Amino acid sequence: MIELEHYSKSDEQLLKGLAPRTTDSRFKVVGYVSLAVVTTLLLFTYLVGNISFASSVERNLKVFDDEKNSETMKAFVNFISEQGRTYADRTETAYRYRIFKNNYAVLSKH
């Protein structure tokens, strides 16, 4: 009790004023850390998505290049010429060929 008597009213007000500021600064730190974590996760997800997309495109192009004289490629060329299909670029053509190849394999089994 003696210690409390040493404090004046202005000291009590000062101590009361510090408590909310400390709490506010904790909330700010938690907010900044949360923002940093979310930003890092979004960036990581974006990078992983681009890597998997790029590897998918490369796989499509590799399959497209490796099977130039295959029966499936001949069927694909006949299909796009009969249907009058055109594709924007080589990447899209390779992607469409991969889809055609999968469907052609299923149809060939039946």
pLDDT digits (tens, 9 = 90+) for 34-91: 888 888 888 888 777 766 666 676 777 777 777 777 888 889 889 988 999 888 888 8
CB atoms within 10 A of CB 98: 17
CA distances (Å), 15 to each of 12, 18, 22, 58, in order? Answer: 5, 5, 11, 65
Kindly report the pTM of this predicted structure: 0.47
* Residue 30, domain extent: 12-109
Report how many domains make up the chain. Answer: 1
Of the pLDDT bands very low, low, confident and very high (cuts 50, 70, 90), residue 3 is low
Residue 2 located in a structural domain: no
57 versus 13: the higher-pLDDT residue is 57
pLDDT of 4: 55
pLDDT of 17: 57
pLDDT of 9: 59
Residue 4 located in a structural domain: no
